[in-house]
Every structure is written in C-alpha cells, then in structure tokens.
C-alpha cells in the first residue's frame, strides 16, 4: 500500500474490506478481497493524486469492497471511514429526478405538462413553454439570473430567510434564454423550479417530501441535506485549507445532499435494477434527452469500454467546492462504483478513476 504524509496516521482506514464501525452501515454483503487490478488502480490514485475519500465497488446492491483514505476533517483529527457522509453535489439531481418520477407514477405530475400547471403564479409567458422534462434535462431555456444575483449579493447563499417563493422570484423568473429543448444549460434555476413544484404538489418542504418519496423507501438512512459536523472539504490538504460549502435550502434539489457510499450503491441498485420504479420511469431516467452532453433526466448516461465491449452506465457526478463524487452504475447490472472525495480532485480525474475501477472489477 502506498502511503502519503497525510494518510500515514490513518493507514488502518485504507482497507480492502471495511472493518468495524465502518461496515455496520453497509448493505448486507460478503465482501471479498480486491483483485490485484482494483488494488493497483486505487493505490495509483492515492499516490498520484493525493486522493482522500471513500471508494466502493458493488454488484446488484451488494458491497464487494470499500476503501477509506485520508482525513474526513483534518482540524478535528478525524480519519475518513467507510461510512463517512460527504457532499454529493449534483448527484442530488438524480435523487430529485427519482422523486419527480414517483409523483409522475402517482398521477400528480406529468413530464410534458407546462410548469404553470403546478406553479399558477409563475409568469405564463415563460412558464407555459417549460416542462418538467426540460427542467430535469437542463434544456428548458429557463431564465437564469442566479450567477448575476449572487455576484451582486453574495449573502444570498447564506440567508436562510430566502424561502422557495422568494428564490423562484429572484433567481428563476424572467424571459426564456432559448427555445426549450434547443440546447443544454446547466442552470440552477431549473432545479429551484423543480424544488418549488415538488413542494407545491406534496404540500411539504422539499427535504420532507424527499424523505417520504425516496430516502425512506430506499433505506437511505445516512443521506441528509444538513452538513455533518465531522466532515470538511479542502482546497489543499498540505497545508490544509478549508473550503466551506454554504448550501441554502433553495439549492437542495440541485446539489444539497450529503450521503454515504453504501446509501448511493443501494439507491442505484434499487432504482435501475429493481421494480421500485416502473419500467417507463426507468426508461425515462436512462434515455438521453440532450445528445451534446449525454444527459438524461437528472444525470448522464455514459458508455464505458469494458473488456472490448461498450457498456452503458448511469453516470452521476458531483462537484462543489472541495467535494467531488461519482456514481457509476452499469445498466446491465454487472457492477457499480461510488467515489466520494473531499480534497478537490479534478472531476475529469474522478471520472477516469471510476471507469478504470469498473474495468478492473470486471
């Protein structure tokens, strides 16, 4: 095993199989030792990129191996554990998409109805042209004054009094930027509107609606919109430079959740491999809507070459401040990888790491 100066005090947390308290929260499994190929990929990532975080490989919802490397919170002297919950950023979008699909299945929402059906006070000149399908695929053309508003008033990210209605008015209202469906635009306004619609239809705050629709039914007991006190994200770890991650409630649907690797493995398995959702909902979540970005509803579908064969995978990534994450789930059910990181490893490197692990797993 390759050690870095940071990982040396924590060498027992870089394991081929999770032990002790870290294993208690994992899905039931008989974990096996890593293959030499998997071990080599992980050791190379720690050595070459200073990776610290959690790496989990599984198949059909069962953990095969899990590794924890480095520190969850340097200032508190807390090592990373297999069950550490880290910020998952935009993987939150896929969780939100699953909640929407459950409401579609209940007949309370429609992917292709105008958003004014559920937000009657939203300006009709814009809202009549925007659908849930376009919001979920970041192709709505919704107005996106968020960046300019935050630059003008940075306190917006720290003001808990900015409720959903105010966030919609200030950050997601205006003229269409482009004709819905014309192109991809990773605009936070899409997800502010989706959060508002979920709250309007369920009559519950978004976190409560998510708990009822997604988290509790899928057994995601360690997934929360509140930052755990025992984790921190970093710009650098030597020297340690903290990178705080303010997430106001109105951004929760876009990127506000914290989760564990085991919770995400279970989420992907139950959503893509079981009948938790209808066949139509599973197809909608894995059908590419925007070809230029391989984007479906709430996440991408990526083709990974494994053993000379092209394999489709549901591919969610997250990137906010120092938190980086990947959830890659083979749609043939033959493997999955979850990577959670808190020291700003470049997202392209994280994607390559995840692909290499899926190849090594095979």
CA distance 258 to 4: 26
Residue 212 has φ and ψ, to the nearest 5°, of -75, -40
CA distance 203 to 301: 32
CA distance 261 to 263: 6
Q: Which of 65, 69, 90, 233 is catalytic?
A: 90
| Cα distances (Å, whole numbers) of residue 180 to 96, 131, 168, 194 | 20, 8, 18, 15
- Residues 107/307, Cβ–Cβ less than 8 Å: no
- Residues 62/335, Cβ–Cβ less than 8 Å: no
Nearest alpha-carbon partner for 237 in 27, 87, 46: 46
Active site residue 90: yes
Q: H helices of 184-236, where? A: 188-202, 206-210
| Cα distances (Å, whole numbers) of residue 258 to 101, 119, 262, 304, 348 | 21, 28, 12, 27, 21
CA distance 231 to 83: 12
Question: Which residues of the chain form beta strands (DSSP E)?
Answer: 53-59, 62-69, 71-73, 78-79, 86-87, 234-237, 240-242, 258-259, 300-306, 309-320, 323-330, 336-341
Residue 93, SS3 per DSSP: helix
Strand partners, 66: 56
| Residue 332 DSSP symbol | T
Active-site positions read: 90
């Amino acid at each position: 095993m390759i050690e870095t100066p940071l990982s040396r005090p924590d060498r027992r947390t870089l394991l081929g199989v999770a032990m002790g308290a870290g294993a208690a929260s994992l899905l039931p499994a008989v974990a096996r030792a890593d293959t030499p190929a998997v071990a080599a990929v992980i050791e190379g990532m720690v050595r070459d990129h200073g990776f610290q975080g959690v790496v989990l490989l599984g198949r059909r919802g069962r953990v095969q191996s899990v590794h924890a490397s480095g520190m969850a919170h340097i200032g508190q002297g807390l090592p990373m554990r297999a069950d550490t919950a880290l910020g998952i950023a935009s993987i939150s979008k896929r969780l939100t998409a699953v909640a929407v699909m459950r409401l579609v299945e209940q007949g309370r929402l429609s992917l292709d109805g105008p958003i004014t059906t559920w937000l009657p006070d939203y300006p009709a000149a814009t809202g009549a042209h925007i659908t849930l399908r376009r919001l979920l695929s970041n192709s709505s053309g919704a107005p996106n004054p968020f960046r300019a508003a935050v630059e003008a008033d940075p306190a917006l990210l720290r003001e808990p009094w900015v409720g959903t209605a105010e966030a919609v008015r200030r950050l997601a209202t205006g003229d269409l930027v482009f004709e819905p469906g014309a192109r991809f635009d990773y605009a936070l306004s899409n997800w502010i509107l989706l959060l508002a619609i979920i709250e309007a239809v369920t009559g519950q705050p978004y976190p409560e609606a998510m708990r009822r629709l997604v988290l509790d039914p899928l057994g995601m007991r360690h997934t929360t919109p509140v930052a755990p006190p025992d984790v921190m994200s970093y710009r650098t770890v030597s020297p340690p430079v903290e990178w705080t991650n303010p997430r106001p409630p109105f951004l929760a649907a876009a990127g506000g959740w914290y989760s564990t690797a085991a919770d995400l493995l279970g989420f992907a398995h139950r959503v893509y491999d079981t009948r938790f959702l209808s066949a139509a909902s599973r197809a909608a979540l894995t059908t590419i809507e925007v070809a230029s970005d391989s984007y479906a509803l709430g996440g991408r579908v990526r083709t990974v070459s494994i053993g000379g064969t092209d394999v489709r995978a549901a591919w969610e990534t997250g990137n906010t401040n120092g938190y980086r994450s990947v959830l890659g789930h083979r749609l043939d059910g033959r493997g999955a990888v979850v990577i959670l990181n808190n020291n700003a490893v470049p997202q392209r490197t994280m994607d390559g790491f995840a692909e290499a692990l899926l190849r090594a797993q095979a």
